[in-house]
Amino acid sequence: MRALLILAAVLAGVWLWRNIRGSDASGQSAKTDEPVLQDMVRCRQCGMHIPGSEAIVGKQGSYCSAEHLRLSES
């Protein structure tokens, strides 16, 4: 009877350890899958909104392409 109680305690400890360890790993993977938010800017030539990291910045504002930069600021 005593051996059965020890076995049950060990199994419960292993079960708790796996659940705690598993929840930490799943929390980390969810954080890496989240998209990165970026500011959107409007092209001064055509009005299209694009991510700020992809915009071409000129003297008068942001543009979606080098062609629109050239057309607007020439």
Could you state, in order of their start, the residue ranges of all structural domains in the chain? Answer: 1-34, 37-74
Structure tokens at 21: 């360890």
For each of the chain's 74 residues, which pLDDT tens digit applies? 899 999 999 999 999 999 888 766 555 555 667 788 899 999 999 999 999 999 999 999 999 999 999 999 87
CATH class of 37-74: alpha beta
Which DSSP state fits 42? E
Q: Which amino acid is at 64?
A: C
What is the pLDDT at residue 58? 92
Q: pTM higher than 0.85, yes or no?
A: no
Residue 18's Cα: distance from chain center in Å? 27
Q: Are 52 and 39 in contact (CB under 8 A)?
A: yes
pLDDT at 1: 87
